[in-house]
Structure 1
Amino acid sequence: MSGVVKLLYKPFGILFGLLGGMIASALFSKVWKAVAHEDDAPDAGDEERRLKEILPAVALKGAIAGVVKAVIHRGGATGVRGLTGTWPA
């Protein structure tokens, strides 16, 4: 049964990952605006920004993405276990 649950969970895991990316991106934009008081965060391809401006933005974005991914993955797996009695991941 465990293998079947894992196989059936895969498409949902992909959808949850996409949803998590959208949530993380929106959350990062709000946090960046509040912290830096600018609309657009610098990125590595921004020629006019210095590395010391880019690195904090990238670190914050990565931290937010990691936390959102963990919360969504854990929530999805917990929900599947509640429905099937089997941990899917």
Structure 2
Amino acid sequence: MSKGIGKAAYKPVGVLMGFAAGAIAGAVFRQVWKMTAGDGEAPNPTDEDRRWGEVLAAAALQGAIFSVVRAAVDRGGAVGVRRFTGRWPD
């Protein structure tokens, strides 16, 4: 198969997997925040009653979780495309 076909096959998979990654990352973040902060909801950056440290810690944790989940989902999608097409999507 040509290189273009592998890349084209990955595009729709990548979009769908991106949506799934966002949903998974959000769910993981909510659970981790509950366990670590003991609070039901992560702080909103514009919430006047929350401290800077709490807001920034929540944002850093959320970003880290999203990045790891997104990388895992992207990698899994690329492996799936290679198995299906025989080529690694570039």
TM bucket, shorter chain: over 0.9
CA distance in 1, matches of 2:81, 2:29: 28
Compute the displacement of 1:67 (Å): 0.3
Q: Determine the structure 2 residue equivalent to 1:54.
A: 55
CA distance in 2, matches of 1:3, 1:38: 48
Larger RCO, structures 1/2 (Cα 8 Å, 6+ apart)? 2
Q: Determine the structure 1 residue equivalent to 2:13.
A: 12
- The answer for unaligned runs of 5 or more in structure 2 is none
Alignment partner of 1:72 is 2:73: yes
Equivalences, count = 89
CA distance in 1, matches of 2:45, 2:4: 41
1:20-74 Cα offsets, whole Å, 9 max, x none, are: 0000000000000000001000121222212111010000000000000000000
Q: Which runs of structure 1 show a deviation greater than 4 angstroms over 4 or more consecutive aligned residues?
A: none
TM-score, normalising length: structure 1 = 0.93
Q: Determine the structure 2 residue equivalent to 1:42.
A: 43
Q: Determine the structure 2 residue equivalent to 1:23.
A: 24
Q: Matched residues, percent identical?
A: 51
- The answer for unaligned runs of 5 or more in structure 1 is none
Compute the displacement of 1:88 (Å): 1.0
Query: Over aligned residue pairs, what C-alpha RMSD do you find?
Result: 1.0
CA distance in 2, matches of 1:41, 1:82: 39
